[in-house]
Structure 1
Amino acid sequence: MAEPARSILAPFLAIGLVVAGGAGAFAYTAGWLSPDRLTPDRMVDAFAPPGGPAPGHRRNHAKGVCFTGVFEANGAGAALSRARVFATGGYPVVGRFNFGTPDPNAPDATARARGLSIKVSTPDGQEWRSAMISAPVFPVSTPQAFYELLKTPKDPNAMKAFAAAHPEIGAFGAWAKSAPWTASYAEERYNSLNSFIFTDSGGEDRAVRWSFIPEATPVPVPAEDLPKRGRDFLEKEIAERIAAGPARWTLAVTVAEPGDPTADPSKAWPAGRKTVEVGKLVAQKIEPEADGPCRDVNFDPTVLPSGIRTSDDQFPAARSAAYAVSFDRRSAEAKDYPAK
């Protein structure tokens, strides 16, 4: 791959942490490769920066801020899934805004992909947990390829060779290079990327992906202007915004058609697929993560209510295994977590 590869990979090299940002904390689980299989521990280790991980923090998306709010279901989702969370009503949410970095002190302008994680609880005692990112596609198609990406030296020749072996990364690279930056978590669209199965009350299954679409109008900001806003401008802006009034996102569920690539998050589904708006996420209060309600939540994407299950996509199970490792490590390091 010649000059096109160089232009596609430019954002990876210029931004520095874009690989971690694009990761959305996806990782590889044990058991798929043998005898030299990858394990959750090895994958989590791959996120560590040169100086080692920050004790007490998540191993990726280490920088973030908590919020509480409500998911207001409008009832339309009940036609797709029997999960209580889609029945008309309001359900409490604990969430976290974050971006892809293993460094909790990284300047906010250094990460390309931003994240939204939520835990929605329903009166029947079930939970729906989800961790999403602002990229429209994942960089690579398999957990193995993602591990290789994390281990690839961040120099032009190495990245060029990786792109030649994994051409699907071009779509993510094009997004990273051309998509507008914003100065607010509230102006981002957050995408599941992974496919899940919704089962309705009649037992019919549908493969779906979902997105949280911001009510706030995105305001493009030149990338070179973002550092001028300060190291922690994202947390400061969202706190000020929500203090003045709740921030909202519409949850849009997209239904796959036969032949759509449900197992490959690096491939977008064709335009025109059926999309159902099933409710609104309302972020009502921001709280610092150090003593906030999201600090000790593991946003495991396989924690799903009845009516939602994983699909043939390998990543949710892989993420679950790696999230558990990250959670155990940071829990053991709780004494090292700095109080604010």
Structure 2
Amino acid sequence: MPKPPTFQSPTATPAAIVDALKAVAGDPPKVRASFAKGRCVRGTYVPSDRAEEITRSRSFTRPSRVLARFSVGSSHSIATNRAPLLLRGFSFRLGDAHHSSDILTQSAPVHFAKTLEQMLACLKAHIPGPDGNPDIERVKAFSAANPEAMYQASYITAHPLPRNFAGTTYWGVHSFPATNSAGETRFIKFKVAPVGANVSPAESGVMADSDKLLHDDMEHRITSGNVRFSLMALLDRPGDPTMDVTIRWPDEDDRDEVRLGTIVITGLEPDQACDASIFDPANLAEGIAHPPDEIFAARRAAYALSLAKRR
């Protein structure tokens, strides 16, 4: 397995990334640098009888409580300024106090930048001007010079989202080394698939305040019953790219996957239960290791800085 990288960029530091994310969102005070509009929930996780084939991590092989947060990306999305195409996020924590894992997923299977330098440049190109909008010529110039940075936007455009969080499919964009009960290690990607919810895409023209509609819908579903997702592991093949989070594995939608377990969202939590700390992407119980790509390597510091700023 490739060793997790460390990066010492003089410009694209985690602090610079957080500042740029805040600037793209209009620099709102005391909120997350990204996915600021969210709803904290609770639930349970029940592992499948195949989970130990993939990982020996007790976060994924034992039943546990779940703390989770559904969220919506910035209104100044780098992909588009149209609300129906904003990213959605689903972050969750499985396991107990000694074997917990935080998994961060989103409604597109790729990230918008391969390197921190590219990520910072992309964010700077999308910082809004005095009129509240980014400079379209600057955005076009960046996109022309960095075509891989458009892969996420292209995916979002081609795959309209359902009108609710419950029917949305979420992906982890990173390749995680997973070690199973037999000591065998391979790369997996996480996918969170809805169970029993309406997954029909929204029609065009969803209102700009759709984040409120999404959160109200989730609250109604939880108070009326529960919301279920299958937590899946997509299995690697020889030669799959594990360092570039802007591209998918070949034939990713058609390859083998294993259901690790079921997440059942059963109740609402005060937002403070999620906002008091962070879902730390580096918090992974033994059996799931850190992905080797550059973006993941910077995330822990960036999330901690974002938490400090909003406090």
Report the TM-score range of the alignment, normalised by the length of the smaller protein.
0.7 to 0.9
- Distance in 2, matches of 1:111 and 1:177, equals 7
Gaps of 5+ in 2: 127-133
- Distance in 2, matches of 1:178 and 1:231, equals 20
- Distance in 2, matches of 1:230 and 1:102, equals 10
Q: Aligned residues, how many?
A: 293
What is the CA distance between 1:312 and its match in structure 2?
1.7
Residue 15 (structure 2) aligned to one of 31, 41, 58: 41
Higher mean C-alpha deviation, range 112-121 or range 164-173: 164-173
* Alpha carbons 2:70, 2:165 under 8 Å: kept: yes
Amino acid at match of 1:57: V
1:207-263, Cα deviation, whole Å (9 max, x unpaired): 111100011131222231334x76611111100011111101111101111211111
Residue 168 of structure 1: SS of its match in structure 2? helix
* Alpha carbons 2:278, 2:307 under 8 Å: kept: yes
Aligned to 2:245: 265
Report the identity percentage: 30
* Alpha carbons 1:47, 1:60 under 8 Å: kept: yes
- The residue correspondences of 1:1-340 to structure 2 (distance < 5 A) are 31-33=7-9, 36-49=10-23, 53-87=27-61, 89-101=62-74, 109=83, 112-122=86-96, 125-153=98-126, 154-215=134-195, 216-227=197-208, 232-271=212-251, 272-289=254-271, 291=272, 293-331=273-311
Higher mean C-alpha deviation, range 93-102 or range 161-170: 161-170
What is the CA distance between 1:268 and its match in structure 2?
0.7
Distance 1:162 1:108, change over 3 A: closer
What is the CA distance between 1:172 and its match in structure 2?
1.7
Gaps of 5+ in 1: 1-28, 332-340
- Distance in 2, matches of 1:186 and 1:133, equals 13
- Distance in 1, matches of 2:107 and 2:228, equals 15
- Distance in 2, matches of 1:38 and 1:273, equals 35
* Alpha carbons 1:30, 1:39 under 8 Å: kept: no
What is the CA distance between 1:137 and its match in structure 2?
1.6
Residue 160 of structure 2: SS of its match in structure 1? coil
What is the CA distance between 1:164 and its match in structure 2?
2.1
Taking structure 1 as the reference length, the TM-score comes to 0.80
* Alpha carbons 1:64, 1:98 under 8 Å: kept: yes
What is the CA distance between 1:178 and its match in structure 2?
2.4
What is the CA distance between 1:111 and its match in structure 2?
5.8
What is the CA distance between 1:86 and its match in structure 2?
2.8
- Distance in 2, matches of 1:303 and 1:252, equals 19
Residue 294 of structure 1: SS of its match in structure 2? helix
1:191-214, Cα deviation, whole Å (9 max, x unpaired): 001111101233221111110001
Taking structure 2 as the reference length, the TM-score comes to 0.87
Amino acid at match of 2:116: P
- Distance in 2, matches of 1:210 and 1:239, equals 25
- Distance in 2, matches of 1:230 and 1:37, equals 35
Amino acid at match of 2:143: A
What is the CA distance between 1:296 and its match in structure 2?
1.4
